Amino acid sequence: MDFRSVSLPSGTFIIGKAFDFEAGHRLPGLPPGHKCSRQHGHSYQVEVILTAPALQAPGFVTDFGDLAPFKKFLDAELDHHNLHEILPFEPTSERLAQFLAGWFIQNVEPEIPGRLVAVRVCETPRSWARFEVERR
């Protein structure tokens, strides 16, 4: 087969990379009988989703290796911590996704060609929250 004959469609390139960390939390704003008002922990998975208006050589939205500062932040600041003790908000998955998007935009995005589209935070393999970045 001659692969040069394959037409490349127009569209948008989107990439994602998942990161993991372990942390505990409780949500004191919930009623005392709610299970999440008590201390518990999660094996969090965080996915960052990026896009770019054009690919950078050799054909990347962003080199996955350039996302290493985000992993370093998760490991140094959140891994094996009680999130309700260190974060300035109740650490729901929704608020954590928004916070991580803000940190990524401030600290990683200026150094890479891609732009953050969304952050997804999974507390379990079946429970997640996603924060989508609005661009002006």
What is the rounded distance in angstroms from the CA atom of residue 129 to the CA atom of residue 80? Answer: 20
pLDDT digits (tens, 9 = 90+) for 2-49: 999 999 899 999 999 999 999 999 998 899 889 988 999 999 999 999
Mean pLDDT of 77-93: 96
- Indicate the class that CATH gives domain 24-132: alpha beta
Per-residue pLDDT, 44: 98
R_g over Cα of the chain: 18
Q: Which of 36, 47, 84, 94 is catalytic?
A: 36
Q: Which of 25, 42, 122, 123 is catalytic?
A: 123
Query: Which amino acid makes up residue 94?
Result: E
Q: Which residues contact 95 (CB under 8 A, 6 or more apart)?
A: 87, 89
Sorted by where each begins, the domain ranges of the chain are: 24-132
Q: Are 115 and 101 in contact (CB under 8 A)?
A: no
Per-residue pLDDT, 93: 97
Cα torsion at 95, 130, 62, 45 (round to 10°)? 80
20 phi/psi in degrees, rounded to 5: -125, 150
Q: Which of 22, 34, 40, 80 is catalytic?
A: 80
Is the pLDDT at 136 greater than 80? The verdict is no
Tell me whether residue 80 is one of the annotated catalytic residues. yes
